[in-house]
Amino acid sequence: MEIRRVDANQLEIVHKLLRHWVISVADTHLVGGGFPDIVVGYAGVDYLVELKSSKKAKLRKSQIKFRDTWKGAPIHRVDTYEDVCAIIGVRPIV
Protein backbone atom coordinates (compact mmCIF):
# COMPACT_ATOMS: atom_id res chain seq x y z
CA MET A 1 0.00 0.00 0.00
CA GLU A 2 1.27 3.44 -0.92
CA ILE A 3 1.49 6.04 1.84
CA ARG A 4 -0.01 9.32 0.65
CA ARG A 5 1.94 12.19 2.12
CA VAL A 6 1.50 15.91 1.83
CA ASP A 7 4.71 17.73 1.00
CA ALA A 8 5.68 20.30 3.61
CA ASN A 9 5.28 23.19 1.15
CA GLN A 10 1.95 22.14 -0.40
CA LEU A 11 -0.37 24.16 1.84
CA GLU A 12 1.73 27.31 1.39
CA ILE A 13 1.90 26.93 -2.40
CA VAL A 14 -1.84 26.27 -2.73
CA HIS A 15 -2.73 29.25 -0.52
CA LYS A 16 -0.48 31.56 -2.53
CA LEU A 17 -1.91 30.33 -5.84
CA LEU A 18 -5.45 30.92 -4.62
CA ARG A 19 -4.63 34.60 -4.04
CA HIS A 20 -4.74 34.91 -7.85
CA TRP A 21 -8.46 35.20 -8.53
CA VAL A 22 -7.90 33.87 -12.07
CA ILE A 23 -6.37 30.54 -10.93
CA SER A 24 -8.15 27.38 -9.80
CA VAL A 25 -6.44 24.70 -7.74
CA ALA A 26 -7.61 21.14 -7.09
CA ASP A 27 -5.82 19.24 -4.33
CA THR A 28 -5.34 15.73 -5.74
CA HIS A 29 -2.62 14.33 -3.50
CA LEU A 30 -5.01 11.66 -2.15
CA VAL A 31 -5.85 10.26 -5.59
CA GLY A 32 -2.88 7.90 -5.38
CA GLY A 33 -1.32 5.78 -8.08
CA GLY A 34 1.34 8.40 -8.70
CA PHE A 35 -1.17 11.08 -9.74
CA PRO A 36 0.28 14.60 -9.23
CA ASP A 37 -0.38 16.54 -6.02
CA ILE A 38 -2.38 19.41 -7.52
CA VAL A 39 -4.10 20.41 -10.74
CA VAL A 40 -3.85 24.12 -11.53
CA GLY A 41 -6.27 25.72 -13.97
CA TYR A 42 -5.42 29.01 -15.66
CA ALA A 43 -6.63 30.64 -18.88
CA GLY A 44 -8.43 27.49 -20.03
CA VAL A 45 -5.41 25.23 -19.52
CA ASP A 46 -4.95 22.62 -16.80
CA TYR A 47 -1.48 21.95 -15.38
CA LEU A 48 -0.62 18.75 -13.53
CA VAL A 49 1.83 19.64 -10.77
CA GLU A 50 3.91 17.34 -8.60
CA LEU A 51 5.13 19.22 -5.55
CA LYS A 52 8.40 18.41 -3.83
CA SER A 53 9.75 20.12 -0.76
CA SER A 54 13.30 20.46 -2.10
CA LYS A 55 15.31 20.23 -5.31
CA LYS A 56 16.89 17.04 -3.95
CA ALA A 57 13.58 15.25 -3.38
CA LYS A 58 13.02 12.49 -5.93
CA LEU A 59 9.89 11.13 -7.53
CA ARG A 60 8.59 7.86 -6.09
CA LYS A 61 8.31 4.80 -8.34
CA SER A 62 4.55 5.23 -8.68
CA GLN A 63 5.03 8.88 -9.73
CA ILE A 64 7.62 7.94 -12.34
CA LYS A 65 5.37 5.20 -13.73
CA PHE A 66 2.40 7.58 -13.91
CA ARG A 67 4.49 10.29 -15.60
CA ASP A 68 5.92 7.84 -18.12
CA THR A 69 2.53 6.40 -19.10
CA TRP A 70 0.40 9.58 -18.97
CA LYS A 71 -0.76 10.65 -22.44
CA GLY A 72 -2.32 13.97 -21.43
CA ALA A 73 -0.85 17.29 -20.35
CA PRO A 74 2.76 17.30 -19.14
CA ILE A 75 3.44 16.81 -15.46
CA HIS A 76 5.49 19.57 -13.87
CA ARG A 77 7.72 18.88 -10.87
CA VAL A 78 8.09 22.00 -8.74
CA ASP A 79 9.50 23.07 -5.40
CA THR A 80 8.10 26.58 -4.96
CA TYR A 81 5.15 28.85 -5.62
CA GLU A 82 7.38 30.87 -7.95
CA ASP A 83 8.08 27.70 -9.98
CA VAL A 84 4.34 27.16 -10.51
CA CYS A 85 3.88 30.81 -11.53
CA ALA A 86 6.68 30.50 -14.09
CA ILE A 87 5.12 27.37 -15.60
CA ILE A 88 1.65 28.85 -15.99
CA GLY A 89 2.88 32.30 -16.99
CA VAL A 90 1.71 34.56 -14.17
CA ARG A 91 3.65 37.00 -12.04
CA PRO A 92 3.98 35.92 -8.39
CA ILE A 93 2.11 38.03 -5.87
CA VAL A 94 4.53 39.32 -3.27
Domain map of the chain by residue range?
10-88
Looking at 1-94, which runs of residues are DSSP E strands?
23-27, 38-42, 45-51, 75-78
Question: What distance in Å separates the CA atoms of residue 92 and residue 94, rounded to the nearest whole number?
Answer: 6
Say whether domain 10-88 belongs to CATH 3.30.70.890: no
Question: What distance in Å separates the CA atoms of residue 55 and residue 80, rounded to the nearest whole number?
Answer: 10
State which residues of the chain have pLDDT below 70.
1-4
Q: In sequence order, which ranges of 2-89 are alpha helices (DSSP H)? A: 10-18, 61-69, 81-88
Per-residue pLDDT of 5-27, as tens digits, reads 777 889 999 999 999 999 999 99
| The model's pTM | 0.90
pLDDT of res. 55: 87
Question: What distance in Å separates the CA atoms of residue 90 and residue 68, rounded to the nearest whole number?
Answer: 27
